[in-house]
Amino acid sequence: MDLTITALPYEYTLPDDLSKLALVIIDMQRDFMEPGGFGDALGNDVTRLQAIVPALKELLAAFRTLGLPVIHTIECHQPDLSDCPPAKLNRGKGSLKIGDEGPMGRILVLGEPGNGIIPDLAPLPGEIVISKPGKGAFYATPLGAILAERGITHLLMTGVTTEVCVQTTMREANDRGYECLMVEDCTESYFPEFKQATLEMVRAQGGIVGWTAPSANVLDTFA
Ligand code: TIU
């Protein structure tokens, strides 16, 4: 296998041992993807996020076929909201707040129907699922320890939303020394201009945060 992915700002080199490469799928939960969840409660049109599901499903299938690590995350809080700081709980002026009863159960609370990952991308046994109280997946989670234990050094970043949880996690990972590539058609935002700006800013300045590439380029390398 040619160990490079055609990417911006230049080619992305995979580790010699592909088991050091993980697919990170951020927050593909009903809360953000379907009406009646947290994303909707914040005033967003959630339907546009659906567009990335087929490409992300294909990329996930490729990782599963190759037996490579897959990490799912879920943004959520404990039922007593003890892990939700007041600054997050009280932010905004939406009709529903975190913990309120909504059409898909309590908003952004672990275990509620809205908190589940969409069926198309449901985790398989053995795949890592990280519950995270913040936007970044490293904050207040075991993610860093799990990656270190498995010797994972390279991360493909996907999921929603591009400029919020995906970008925050990619920046956290970059500062921790991981080589990160954001998969362009496997991430989406409620704001198309924010997605575009995020892709441009992470790969600017010689890849200041990392790389970006379409999933077709990743799949080409795996072929
Ligand atoms: N609001 C928004 O765009 N995103 C979040 O609140 N969380 C994630 O991005 N997952």
CA nearest 112: which of 41, 29, 188, 186? 29
Determine whether 27 is an active site residue.
yes
pLDDT for 92? 87
Tens digit of each residue's pLDDT (9 = 90 or more) over 86-143:
999 999 887 899 999 999 999 999 999 999 999 999 999 989 999 999 999 999 999 9
Please check whether residue 59 is in contact with residue 219, taking contact to mean a CB–CB distance below 8 angstroms.
yes
Tens digit of each residue's pLDDT (9 = 90 or more) over 205-221:
999 999 999 999 999 99
Tens digit of each residue's pLDDT (9 = 90 or more) over 162-216:
999 999 999 999 999 999 999 999 999 999 999 999 999 999 999 999 999 999 9
Residue nearest ligand 1's atom 1 by CA: 39
Helix-strand-coil split of the chain, %, nearest 5: 40, 25, 40
pLDDT for 163? 98
Task: Write down the pTM of the prediction.
Answer: 0.98
Ligand 1 contact, 163 CB (< 6 A)? no
- 160/33 Cα distance (integer angstroms): 9
Which residues have a Cβ under 8 Å from the Cβ of 185 and sit 6 or more positions away? 52, 55, 214, 215
CA nearest 158: which of 189, 125, 127? 189
Pair of tokens at residue 192 = 């198309």
Ligand 1 contact, 75 CB (< 6 A)? yes
Among 20, 97, 132, 135, the one annotated catalytic: 132
Among 27, 40, 180, 195, the one annotated catalytic: 27
Segments of 11-163 assigned E as strands? 12-13, 21-26, 70-75, 101-102, 105-106, 128-132, 154-160
Which residues have a Cβ under 8 Å from the Cβ of 82 and sit 6 or more positions away? none
pLDDT for 95? 81
Task: Give Cα 221 distance to the centre of its chain.
Answer: 22
100 CA → ligand 1 middle, Å: 17
- 76/96 Cα distance (integer angstroms): 15
Among 20, 84, 97, 165, the one annotated catalytic: 165
Phi and psi angles of residue 88, each rounded to the nearest 5 degrees, phi first: -80, -45
pLDDT for 126? 87
pLDDT band at 12 (very low <50, low <70, confident <90, very high): very high
Q: Which of 91, 98, 164, 171 to mutate to test the pocket of ligand 1 (most atoms within 8 A of CB)?
A: 164
Complex prediction ipTM: 0.98
Determine whether 165 is an active site residue.
yes
Q: Which of 28, 117, 160, 182 to mutate to test the pocket of ligand 1 (most atoms within 8 A of CB)?
A: 160
162 CA → ligand 1 middle, Å: 8
For residues 70-109, b (16+ Cβ closer than 10 Å) or e, as one string? bbbbbbbbeeebeebeeebeeeeeeebbbbeebebbbbbb
